Chains A and B, each alone.
Chain A
Amino acid sequence: MNKSEKTALLQSAGAAEEIEGRSLWRDARIRLFRNKAAVGSMIILGIITLLAIFAPLLSPYAYDQIDWGYIQEGPNWENGHIFGTDGNGRDLFIRVLYGARVSLAVGLLATTVSLIIGVTYGAVAGYFGGKIDSIMMRFVDVLYSLPFMFFVIMLMVVFGRNIFLIFVALGAVEWLTMARIVRGQTLSLRRREFIEAAHATGVSNFKIIFRHIIPNVLGPVIVYMTLTIPQVILTESFLSFLGLGVQEPLTSWGVLISEGAKVIEASTWMLIYPAVFLALTLFCFNFIGDGLRDALDPKDR
Chain B
Amino acid sequence: MSVMNKSAKKDASPILSVRDLKVHFPIPSKGLFAPDRQLKAVDGVNFDLYPGETLGVVGESGCGKSTLGRAILQLIPPTDGQVAWLGKNIVGAPHRDMQPLRRDLQIIFQDPLASLNPRMTIGEIIAEPLVTHKPELGKEEIKARVKRMMARVGLLPQMINRYPHEFSGGQCQRIGIARAMILEPKLIVCDEPVSALDVSIQAQIVNLLQELQREFDLSLIFISHDLSIVRHICHRIMVLYLGNVAELADRDSIYAAPRHPYTKALISAVPIPDPEIERNKERIVLTGDLPSPLSPPSGCVFRTRCPFAKDKCAQEPPVLERVSDSQEVACHFHDSI
Contacts and interface: CB of A to CB of B under 8 A. Distances in A.
Interface of A: 3, 6-7, 10-11, 13-14, 16-25, 192-194, 196-203, 207, 211-212, 215-216
B309 interface: no
A6 B207 CA distance: 14
Closest CB pairs A-B (n = 5): A14-B157, A202-B102, A21-B162, A193-B115, A10-B151
Contacts of B158: 13-14, 16-19
Given A21-B166, A202-B132, A14 B161 contact: no
Given A197-B115, A203-B132, A13 B162 contact: no
A20 B155 contact: no
Nearest to A197: B115
Interface string B161-181: 111011000000000100100
A216 B103 contact: no
Contacts, number: 106
Contacts of B161: 18-21
B118 A201 contact: no
Nearest to A212: B117
Interface in B143-197: 147-148, 150-152, 154-163, 165-166, 176, 179
Contact of B157 (A10, A25, A201, A212): A10
B88 to A, nearest CB: 17
Contacts of B322: none
Interface stretch (B104-112, B223-231, B248-256, B268-276): B104-112
A14 B153 CA distance: 13
B109 A196 contact: yes
Given A14-B151, A19-B159, A22-B166, A198 B128 contact: yes
A194 B115 contact: yes
B211 A23 contact: no
Nearest to A21: B162
Contact of B133 (A18, A198, A202): A202
B79 interface: no
B129 A10 contact: no
A21 B107 contact: no
Contacts of A18: 158, 160-161
Contacts of A6: 154
A193 B99 CA distance: 19
B179 A197 contact: yes
Given A11-B148, A14-B151, A202-B102, A216 B157 contact: no
6 contacts: A10-B155, A194-B114, A200-B75, A200-B107, A207-B132, A215-B119
A199 B75 contact: yes
B308 to A, nearest CB: 40
A22 B165 CA distance: 9
Contact of B114 (A22, A23, A193, A211): A193
Nearest to B133: A202
A10 B70 CA distance: 34
B116 interface: yes
Contacts of A203: 128, 132
A194 to B, nearest CB: 5
B121 interface: yes
A11 B132 contact: no
A170 B161 CA distance: 41
B152 to A, nearest CB: 6
